[in-house]
Every structure is written in structure tokens, then in C-alpha cells.
Amino acid sequence: QKDYTAATMRTAGTAVLAAAVLAFWTRSGDAVGCNTCHIYNDHSAYAEGVTSATKETATPTNFPAGSHCSQYKDASCCTADVANNLNTIYGPDFNFLERCGGMSDRCAQYFFDEGCFYECDVNAGRFRRHANCEENAWEMYHAPVQASYCDSFYEACKNELYCHSDDRSAFGECDPNTDCKPIGEIYADGKDLCETIWGDAFKYETNERDAFTFHFEPGQPNPNDLVLLDVSFPDACEGIHNGSMVDDCVASGLLQQNIMRAVRELEVMMDDQSQGSSNAKDIAIAGLVFGLVGFMMGAFLIFMTQCGRGSKGVPSF
């Protein structure tokens, strides 16, 4: 009973505060805030008939019924055109569905989910490889992915054929007549899969509180919006981003980061208190304190969404 009481208070505080942060962040009538898309692709260079480039900001997108990436309809860096051509937008050499004669729907969905994250999720931009886009604006580097997701990806695809290059990445040369092998023979496990198949774009992260997922259901809030908020977005790319929008991103992002950092620190304190004390009263008090702080901060942010608002995604004090 004591653990249940503490956990309930902590969960309630976290839920209210997280909802308030999201309400503050996405309230209607304001600028997009920190929704600048920092990973940028121009697919017209690779795929015939796909002319859409990455959007400047993550905005609502009308995905057709049954379209891939529709979970990002409320805020997407990709267009519906890109989402509907994920297996062809990088050219025929990267068509994972057809190069080795087909792939099961179950396995293919993991590849589509990764493509949706990379193309559509604004949070991917936190891990753009080149700070100033001096070489390109499309590469990612070591974005952490939940270990359990990578493991599930491997289990779903280990018996599927995949065309592998010498470095086992999707970017090298491979001959589908000789280089198609089961994924389970190319990669040792989920960690090897996630950290190799897309080069060093991703890393396998066992601390799933600080890691992205490639999958969430349409209609649900994007869980990636509430992780790694202490990781700053990179600078704007000259010729791609509007300067005022990025300035808003920085100002709004700092506020959001500070709020969520406080939440995380309180969660750690709560965990330490629960693990270090066998006293039911201590645990209950720790849970109560966390819950009350969450409610108070959440109430403040909800209030800020209704009055005292600036026009560019930050409050006017």
C-alpha cells in the first residue's frame, strides 16, 4: 500500500505537469515555438516524382487514410508525399521492400517507423551531425533509441532477407543477386542492428527514460516530445531556416528544458527516497511532495496558456 500511494502521487504530479507543458507548448493561435525542423532533405535529387523537401517547421499535415507517418499529423517535418514514398525516396538502391524479393508487413513496419521518425519527428533535429550544416543538413549522429524497441525490431526482422554492404549499413553498395541474407545473419542482436544498419545515426540506449522510440499510435501524443529536453537543438542552417523562427525556438526551448529538467530531478529524488528508505511515512511524504510540486507547476503553466502570452511562443511577463 505504501508503494502504491507514493507511486500514485508521483505519477499524478508528472502527468499534470507534462500535460501542462504540452498545452503551453502547442497552444492554438501562437507561433510554432521550438518546432524548427533541423534535419533537412531535398528528395527531388533521389526519387523521381517526389519533389517535396523537408518543411521548415513541424506543422499539421493532412496524411491520407492509411498513410505511413499519420501519427505525426499534428506536427510533422515531412509532407504526405514523402510519407507515402518512404521506401523509394532515397532511390532504387535503398528500396528495402523490394531489393531482396519482399518483406513481411511486420518487419517492414519497423523500417517505415524509422523512416517516419527520421523524416517527420522534429526531435530528430537535436542530433543533427553537422552543427552548422557545413557539409550537409541530413545526417544524424548517435540519437539514442530505446533498447527494447531495437530488440523488438531485431526479433521481427531476423529471418527477413536484407541486402547488406561490406560495412553492413544501408548506405554502401550491395548486389541483390549475391548479398541478400537474413538480417539475423548480418546483425548479432538488436544493439548491433540499430547501431549499424543506418551507420552511426543511432545508439542503443538501455536507460529508456532518455531515449526515443520510433513508434507510437496515431492520435497519441508524441512521447519523444518529453525526453532529452536538456539536449539543445543545433544552430540554424543558412539558406534553410528563417532566423526569427529559430530565435523563438531557442527562447521557448530554454524554458521547456528548465521545467522538464526540474521534473526529472524530482523524479530521481523520489526514486532515491523510495530505494533508500523502508519507512512508509518517508516514502509517502516524498510522493506527496512530488505530486504537489507537479500540480503547482502544472497549474502555473495552464494559467500561462490563458493570459500573459507573447506572440511568439514565450510568455510575456
> What is the residue-wise DSSP string for 154-199?
HHHHTTSEEE--TTSSTTS---TTT-EEEHHHH-SSHHHHHHHTTT
CB atoms within 10 A of CB 316: 10
CA–CA distance, 279 with 246 (Å, rounded to integer): 49
- Torsional class of 313: left (φ above 0), alpha (ψ -120 to 50), beta (otherwise): left
User: Strand 202-205 and strand 161-163: pairing?
Assistant: unpaired
What confidence category does residue 204 fall into, taking pLDDT thresholds of 50, 70 and 90?
very high
pLDDT greater than 70 at residue 37: yes
The per-residue pLDDT for range 235-294, each reduced to its tens digit, is 877 766 655 555 555 555 555 555 655 666 666 666 665 565 556 555 556 555 655 665
The per-residue pLDDT for range 52-62, each reduced to its tens digit, is 778 888 889 99
What confidence category does residue 16 fall into, taking pLDDT thresholds of 50, 70 and 90?
low
pLDDT at 143: 97
What confidence category does residue 180 fall into, taking pLDDT thresholds of 50, 70 and 90?
very high
CB atoms within 10 A of CB 35: 23
The per-residue pLDDT for range 302-317, each reduced to its tens digit, is 555 444 433 323 332 2
pTM of this structure: 0.71
Q: What is the DSSP letter of 77?
A: S
